[in-house]
Amino acid sequence: MISKTPKPPYYAVIFTSIREDQDKGYSEMAEKMEALVKSQTGYLGHESARNGVGITVSYWKSLEDIKAWKRNQDHLAAQTQGRENWYQSYKVRICKVETDYDFER
């Protein structure tokens, strides 16, 4: 599903990752983080795809909202587990969305 975002400007966090082969509790934590992020101030939605390389893009009202999510204690614990158990590598990019457009049939 494509996120319904407001009129720009807003922000996008692009999380690109390569995971380890074994789940090791990843799926359970991913469900927990998805439920938690939806309750965060400034969260606008997200989209995710995985085919070897995983890409998740989350959308936020402000940089301050993104920083608050990064500091969330449960999210910090998930980040630690990710580095220790789930990811071979990842990269985070934060962008300001200045223009968007869409098409829908």
Give the C-alpha distances (Å, rounded to integers) separating 97 from 45, 57, 62.
14, 12, 11
Is residue 103 domain-resident?
Answer: no
Residue 40: which of 65, 7, 77, 14 has the closest Cα?
65
Task: Read off the pLDDT band of 82 (50, 70, 90).
Answer: very high
- How much is the pTM? 0.93
Is residue 11 domain-resident?
Answer: no
Is residue 23 domain-resident?
Answer: yes
Domain count within the chain: 1
pLDDT tens digits, one per residue of 12-45: 999 999 999 989 999 999 999 999 999 999 999 9
Is residue 79 domain-resident?
Answer: yes
Q: What are phi and psi of 63, to 5 degrees?
A: -65, -35
Residue numbers of the domain that contains 77: 16-97
For residue 59, what is the domain's CATH number?
3.30.70.100
Supply the pLDDT for residue 100: 98
Supply the pLDDT for residue 18: 97
Is residue 102 domain-resident?
Answer: no
Is residue 35 domain-resident?
Answer: yes
Is residue 70 domain-resident?
Answer: yes
Average pLDDT, the chain: 97
